[in-house]
Chain A
Amino acid sequence: MFMLTLGGERMIFGRYVNRFYLKYGFFFALGVLALITVDWYQLLIPDITGSIIEGIQYNTLTAEILQNYMIELMKIAAIMIIGRFLWRIFIMGTSRRIDYELRNDMFRHAEKLSQRYYQENKSGGLMALFTNDLNAVRMAFGPGLMMFFDVMFLGGLAFYRMYELDSTLTFFALIPLLMVSLLAALVSRITGKKFKERQKAFENMSDFTQENFYGISVIKAFVNELREIREFAKINKDNYDKNVSFIKASTLMHVGIEVFINVIRILMIGLGGYLVYRTIGLDLSDPGKFSVGDLSRYVSYFGMMVWPMMAIARLINMRAQANASMQRINALLDQKVEIQDAPDVMPIQRLGGKITFHNLTFRYPNSKTEVLKNLNLVIEPGEIVGIIGRTGSGKTTIVDLLLRIYNLKPNEILLDDTDIMKLPIKTIRNEIGYVPQDNFIFSDTIENNIGFSADDIDLNHITKIAEYSDVHDNIIDFPGGYQTVVGERGVTLSGGQKQRISIARALLKDPTILIMDDSFSAVDTKTEEMIIKNLQQLRKGKTTLIIAHRISTIQLADKIVLIEEGEIAGVGSHERLLKSNPLYQSMVLRQQLEAEVEGGVTCGETLL
């Protein structure tokens, strides 16, 4: 009865794991069968030893009988060895398969989630789902399942055999054993708490050292090394204390449990001994007789019961952990996919490059401030458009919206006169080339980074694109050339190199619309000039949006859009804006002065 409720509690169920029971039920069944077989045969061994003892004691044992026993023992051993191999392969191996499939499911789902999700959830927490939580679930399927059946069968059978031998004695053995087991479950909650404290102290130390190392220049500047060392000593001491406190509790628990079990065992020997003593006159065939062989059997069975009993406590904890972890994983898998094609999506594959903003007003989810206010703008195919404005004016938001990272109200952005919300997301993103502001580069070869969008990589083509982006010369200077792995073994790229690789990555797509979000901030003006010249040639007939801080980046654009606090503060060519727009004028002037302070090129003539 107790076992059954425990079983109901232990199993983890849920939409995302139930199918595994179906899919792998057969393997689990085989594993459990092997496990039960092992348990069954394991219990036969004490009977053989017991019989041998009786045979010796009563002088009935002959060489022939002994030989038969031994042959039987060999058979049992053979079956057990095969069984033990099989249950490990079937149960543990299958749990690894579930682990694998669940991890795939999680990653596949994570790929569909919106940027809003990624902004709200730290990547550290997401990582924990993939590592700790997944492992806890796997443990429930693997070792958990094994323990569960061991408790049921090994425990149950041993109990049954003991009960057969002597019911009262078994009663006296089982009750304290159960008590120890439950006590262990309780105490392990306490040690669990201490363990968490220990973890907390460890994390604290990790955080402290990390921050200290990141801020080392401040520490050195204020000659604060000694104070930091003193502070670290405190944290170090706290770690020591928490560790010792945990160790104390867990050692006490382990030693305590061992003592309890040993004492019960000896009391069993004593009580059993008394039974033997009491029935000493009876004949071996008498049902009331408790022989020395029986006592030996009894003690062995008792030994076999200990592990399942202890496993109960571990099972309870494992179940609690697995359930909590499963819930967290479910929360990820249940996360709604916010950005997806509309039900009435139009089957459009290609775009022409026209972009229309129509009364576009936008605020980020869960935010009250309007980032963009009533934006109206038409970009014709083939235009090079510069977008300029101060930090926080809403430039990057425009890019995010064009890439359909957020959902919009109907007809706020039209691509080729079709509402962006009705276009397939795949089409939008295939047709747009994007150079992100943060220049995220994967730790892969440079070739693969530039060829990110391509299914088949053509090195010639990549080289050409890298030349257009003025990064080819840098790349061939690296020891591995295009095969150099970025971010490993010391090859780290400078900001400017990253930026130009990122430009090449987007150019390789030869997209209908190219969006460059502040893509020249880390390159010098000369390089910038060269790339822009290349762009003008490459992007003929295709739409290009260049977002920039520096006027020099966009002054040659067909059209410049000046954004100020989410609104369009001016549209026109550089010359026109310079003549008529005071905000643009002041921006130009200010940048020119700053360039002068920086000691850059004297750009007075070219700009004013």
Chain B
Amino acid sequence: MAKPSYDDFDSLRNKTYSDWTIVKRLLLYVKPFMLQLVIAFVLVFVLVGLDLVGPLFLARVLDSLGKADVEFAEIITIVILYIGVIAVNAFISYHQSLLLQRTGQKIIYNIRRDVFNHLEGLSIAQFNRVPIGKLVTRVTNDTDTLNSMYTDVLINALRSIMTIIGVFVIMFTANASLTLLISLVVPFVILASIFFRIYSRKAYRQVRYHVSSMNAYLSEHLSGMKLIQIFNREEKKFQEFKQKNIKLRKSYVMQTVTFAVYRPLMYMLYVSTLIVVLWVGGTQAITTPELMSYGMLIAFTQYISKFFDPIQDLAEKFDTLQSAFTSGERIFELLDMKPDVKDQEGAIELEGFKSKIEFRHVWFAYIEGDWILKDVSFTVNAKETIAFVGATGSGKTTILSLIVRNYDIQQGQILIDDIDIKDIKLSSLRKHIGQMMQDVFLFSGTIESNIRLRDDSIPDSAIVEACKYVNADRFIDKLPNKYHELVRERGNNFSSGQRQLLSFARTLVHQPSVMILDEATANIDTETEELIQESLKKMMNIGTMIIVAHRLSTIQHVDKIIVMQKGKIIEMGNHQELLKQKGHYHTLYMLQYDKRLQAFNQTITTH
């Protein structure tokens, strides 16, 4: 769990997978598009060929013009031919590039689909382990990085390499001795590029590290500005910021210097080669004109620049490849995370809920050895309402999440109609149980979309009806857009009481057989509180309900009360039984009839 965060520093890539494994798995995504890629590859050959004939045309024109008996028609023919080549080149180039990019996008589409679909299958516990921001990055940015690898690097690298080889072949055919001489420069070019790779990679990492550390610092301190101001720490924080900023600047400057050295260095090598070409080629042209015409000399000068460009390109593209590997690894790590709560083989559909839910000697711990529930047994009969009371941490909420199998228990059994819930399909189990959680999550959208939850089979009338039933209509009707009122990010334009009512409606409209409710502890204004209590009372009458109760009025209306303490059930029974026990519940009950409660109730209604 406590993995080093290598998000900002790819040198810290923890080699879960070898480079080769990553390549193999990335290639698996390429497999369905083999045909397209083969076509694209073949077209690269054609394109490089067409590109490299250009200087030959120029050589031909120049040489022809040097002849005293030149026919201008010949020049025109060459020009027209050359234009033809360019047109064909452009046509192929456009379609090849499009084919490739489209394929890349399709691959990314598939990877994104796989990552997202896989994530949807993970358990809530697994979601809680990884920061949401990171998960989002996996689906979006990391896949995007892979895209640039598939399209930009892979094909451009091939094109670059093909061009380099092509240039050599043409030059060698035209003038072998000169070409061999030129090849002497190659080791220096490689050496320079290797050095550049080493330094630029270092610089690149430094920049990335300092950029993300600067961004993290900024985002934290801009949101914590109030505290900085209140503690009079502006100056100290500014100095801290400045230090970070200096480091960032230095890393950028280092990157600039790397390029400022490499680019001119490559230029130096280029000019050296040019000098070799002009000097040796020029001498050949004077002494052995049949070996080297001046037109060919010009063509050679053009070829060597066509030779240097792809090398520079290759050296500078390397970073993309590097980050693609990192992204690939992160994605595969996620894809290899097995869902820890899943259907067992032969799991069945639950056909309606008939008789009872039963906890049989249930033991449960989130962390091994730290038991949250210790030997908990109870039964909830159909149509019954049961309430759990107890201190924070006594295990009430855990019971609710176990019923819907958000976690698997370590010992004992949870049964619904005498079937172990592990033998029931997760989807079937959860469809039968309507959950109303303490912190109601609302999606951005409308009130209607939050109740419907993309289930188009629910008619609008059912939504309105459900809202009426749970008293949510009272505040919805006051909104300018009623059921189409926009819900902003996480529903922050609604009070927690209103959100609670919406979650009631949301649950009702999906018609569960059993409802579980974790009552909100948040302070809710009195008016909404009354609406909530009223609708709760109604809901208790329509079916089986299990409530983690925080409010006295809620408990007053249930069939059975279970008092929990430190993971154990300490009192259980209906109202009368518990009163007779003269225990915890009894104290509570006696308090209710304290005469001062009347005063309390009065203030509530008058306020």
Contact residues of A with B, CB < 8 Å? 48-49, 52-53, 55-57, 59, 61-63, 66-67, 69-70, 73-74, 77, 80-82, 84-85, 88-89, 92-93, 96-97, 99-100, 103-104, 107-108, 110-113, 115, 118, 123, 126-127, 130-131, 202, 205-207, 209-225, 227-229, 231-233, 236-237, 239-240, 243-244, 247-248, 251-252, 255-256, 258-259, 262-263, 266-267, 269-270, 273-274, 276-277, 280, 292, 295-296, 299, 390-391, 403, 405, 426, 429-430, 432, 434, 436, 440, 442-443, 452-453, 455, 488-491, 509, 524, 549, 582-583, 585-586, 589-590, 592-594, 596-600, 602, 604
B242: interface (CB < 8 Å): yes
Contact of B86 (CB < 8 Å), options: A59, A70, A247, A259: A259
Which residues from chain B contact A263 at a C-beta distance below 8 Å? 83, 86
Measured in the bound complex, the distance between the Cα atoms of B229 and A59 in whole Å is 82
Q: Are B294 and A57 in contact (CB under 8 A)?
A: yes
Are A89 and B65 CB-contacts (below 8 A) given A107-B238, A111-B234, A206-B136? no
Q: Is the CB of A221 within 8 A of B435?
A: yes
* Residue pair B430, A222 in contact (C-beta under 8 Å): yes
Chain B, range 245-259, C-beta contacts under 8 Å to A? 245-246, 248-249, 252-253, 256-257, 259
- Among A231, A255, A426, chain B packs the most CB atoms within 10 A around the CB of A255
> Which of B221, B232, B252, B297 is within 8 Å of A96, CB to CB?
B252
**Residues A490 and B2 in contact, CB atoms below 8 Å apart:** yes
B184 at the interface (CB under 8 A from A): no
Q: Show 27 A/B contacts (Cβ-Cβ < 8 Å), sorted by A.
A: A49-B298, A49-B301, A66-B283, A66-B286, A70-B279, A92-B260, A96-B252, A104-B241, A113-B225, A118-B223, A127-B219, A210-B132, A211-B444, A215-B443, A219-B120, A221-B430, A243-B105, A262-B86, A453-B233, A455-B236, A488-B5, A491-B2, A589-B600, A596-B587, A597-B389, A599-B391, A604-B591
A280 and B68 contact, Cβ closer than 8 Å, known pairs A108-B238, A582-B599: yes
* Known A88-B260, A244-B105: A594·B552 in contact at CB below 8 Å: yes
When the two chains form their complex, are residues B62 and A220 in contact, meaning their CB atoms are under 8 A apart? no
The answer to whether the Cβ of B406 comes within 8 Å of any Cβ in the partner chain is yes
- Which residues of chain A come closer than 8 Å to B79, judged between CB atoms? 266-267, 269-270, 273
Q: 8 Å CB contacts to A: which residues of B524-547?
A: none
B66 within 8 A of A: yes
**Chain B nearest CB, measured from A216 CB (Å):** 5
Q: Which residue of B lies closest to A63 (CB)?
A: B283
B109 pairs with A236, CB closer than 8 A: yes
Q: Is the CB of B58 within 8 A of A299?
A: yes
Nearest CB to that of B120 among chain A residues?
A225
Query: Given contacts A292-B294, A429-B232, A598-B550, are A123 and B75 in contact (CB under 8 A)?
Result: no
Residue B98 at the A interface, CB < 8 A? yes
Which residues of A are found within 8 Å of B113, using beta-carbon distances?
A: 232-233, 236
Closest-CB distance, B602 to chain A (whole angstroms): 8
Question: How far apart sit A322 and B271, CA to CA, in the bound complex (Å)?
Answer: 36
B584 on interface, CB distance cutoff 8 Å? yes
List A contacts of B549 (CB < 8 A): 597
B572 in the interface (beta carbon within 8 A): no
Nearest-neighbor residue (CB-CB) of A219 within chain B: B120
Residue in chain A with minimal CB distance to B259: A88
B263 within 8 A of A: yes
* Alpha-carbon gap, A426 to B230, bound state (A): 9
B349 to chain A, nearest CB (A): 12
Question: By the criterion CB–CB under 8 Å, are B98 and A213 in contact?
Answer: no
Contacting A592 at CB < 8 Å: which of B394, B404, B591?
B591
Nearest 6 Cβ contacts at the A-B interface: A490-B2, A88-B260, A586-B600, A77-B271, A221-B435, A270-B79
- Residues of chain B within 8 A (CB-CB) of A218 are 437, 441, 443, 453
Since A111-B229, A221-B434, A295-B65 are in contact, a sample of 4 more A-B pairs with Cβ atoms closer than 8 Å, ordered by chain A residue number, is A214-B132, A223-B427, A598-B391, A602-B587
Chain A residue at minimum C-beta to C-beta distance from B226 = A115
- Scoring B residues 59 to 87 as 1 if CB is less than 8 Å from chain A, else 0, what string do you get? 00110011010101001100100110011
Residues of A close to B144: CB separation below 8 A: 202
- Contact bitstring B383-407, A, C-beta under 8 A = 1, else 0: 0000001111010000000001010
Question: Measured between alpha carbons, how far is A602 from B510 in the docked complex, in Å?
Answer: 41
Q: Which of B65, B133, B453, B596 contacts A227 (CB 8 A)?
A: B453
Interface residues in B486-503 (C-beta closer than 8 Å to A): 489-490
Nearest CB of chain B from residue A71's CB, rounded to whole Å = 10
B237 proximal to A (CB < 8 A) = yes
Cross-interface CB contact of A211 among B224, B283, B443, cutoff 8 Å: B443
Q: Note all chain B residues with C-beta closer than 8 A to A292.
A: 62, 65-66, 294
List B contacts of A85 (CB < 8 A). 260-261, 264
Question: Is the beta-carbon distance between A53 and B389 smaller than 8 angstroms?
Answer: no
**Chain B interface SS verdict (over half):** helix
Q: A104-B241, A270-B75, A280-B70 are in contact. Are A97 and B249 (CB under 8 A)?
A: yes
Number of B positions contacting A (CB below 8 A): 149
Determine if A215 and B441 form an interchain contact, defined as CB atoms under 8 angstroms apart. Answer: yes
Docked complex Cα distance between A92 and B254 (Å): 11
Residues of A within 8 A of B234 (CB): 111-112
Q: Is the CB of B603 within 8 A of A586?
A: yes
- Among listed B13-21, B89-97, B187-195, interface-contacting one: B89-97
Q: B367 interface residue, CB < 8 Å from A?
A: no
Cα distance A82–B252 when bound, in Å?
A: 21
Please give, as numbers and ranges, the residues of chain B lying within 8 Å of A131 by CB-CB distance.
215
Q: A81-B268, A589-B600, A599-B563 are in contact. Are A229 and B261 (CB under 8 A)?
A: no
Q: Which residues of B contact A110 (CB under 8 A)?
A: 222, 225
Which B residues are CB-close (under 8 A) to A104?
A: 238, 241-242, 245
Give the complex CA separation of A80 and B249 in angstroms: 27
Supposing A217-B441, A594-B550 touch, asked if A92 and B256 sit within 8 A by C-beta, the answer is: yes
- The answer to whether the Cβ of B155 comes within 8 Å of any Cβ in the partner chain is no
Please state if A251 and B97 are interface contacts (CB–CB under 8 Å). yes
CB neighbors of A among B292-313 (8 A): 294, 297-298, 301
CA separation between A236 and B109, bound complex, in Å?
6
Within 8 A of A (CB), among B450-478: 453-455
Q: Contacting B267 at CB < 8 Å: which of A80, A280, A549, A597?
A: A80
B290: shortest Cβ distance to chain A, in Å? 13
Residues B222 and A126 in contact, CB atoms below 8 Å apart: yes
B101 in contact with A244 (CB, 8 Å):
yes
Do residues A49 and B58 form an inter-chain contact, with CB atoms below 8 A? no
B residues within 8 A CB of A231?
Answer: 454
Chain A hits for B2, CB < 8 A: 489-491
B481 within 8 A of A: no
